Structure 1
Amino acid sequence: MDVCYNRLFKLLIDKGLKKTEFAKQVGIGQNTLAKLSKNEFVSMEVLVKICRGLNCNIEDVVEIIKEDFRDN
């Protein structure tokens, strides 16, 4: 399965926050922010920090994308 953080970035736009401003606010580093931007896996600890910092639920931040198991 893959993850997608587009919901997070839409939420930041809706709240008028820049990515770097958001990272400082919730206490995550630039490397973690880069992982989020590339839709890479991050720890549950990071997701909890984000949800607490933005006062939202995890489904407001991350979407699980199901893998396609079709035969090629």
Structure 2
Amino acid sequence: MDVTYNKLFKLLIDKEMKKMVFAKSVGISPNTLAKLSKNELVSMKIIVRICRKLNCNIEDIMEILPETREKL
């Protein structure tokens, strides 16, 4: 997990917007919504659409997590 979208979901809660309503308004599929919920990578095109819909910047919806070293 290299990213987290916790900020996005907090923003949706603050706006009292349900995830599926949000996804439909942005035009993202249920599969993409699932990826966001699992903190998986999604395309920059999706991120831009989300930011435009919510009138925010990338740092308002996601964080890039520090790199962790795997133990051998």
Q: Which amino acid aligns with 1:64?
A: I
SS in 2 for 1:68: coil
Which position in structure 2 is the counterpart of 1:24?
A: 24
SS in 1 for 2:11: helix
Which position in structure 1 is the counterpart of 2:55?
A: 55
Q: Which amino acid aligns with 2:38?
A: K
Q: TM-score with structure 1 length normalisation? A: 0.92
Count of matched residue pairs: 72
CA–CA separation in structure 2 for the residues paired with 1:71 and 1:34: 29
Which position in structure 1 is the counterpart of 2:69?
A: 69
CA–CA separation in structure 2 for the residues paired with 1:71 and 1:21: 41
5 Å-filtered alignment, 1:2-41, equals: 2-41=2-41
Q: RMSD over aligned Cα, in angstroms?
A: 1.4
Segments of 5+ residues of structure 1 without an aligned counterpart are none
Indicate the percent of aligned positions where both proteins have the same amino acid.
Answer: 67
Say yes or no: does 1:46 pair with 2:51: no
Q: TM-score with structure 2 length normalisation? A: 0.92
Segments of 5+ residues of structure 2 without an aligned counterpart are none
Q: Which amino acid aligns with 1:48?
A: V
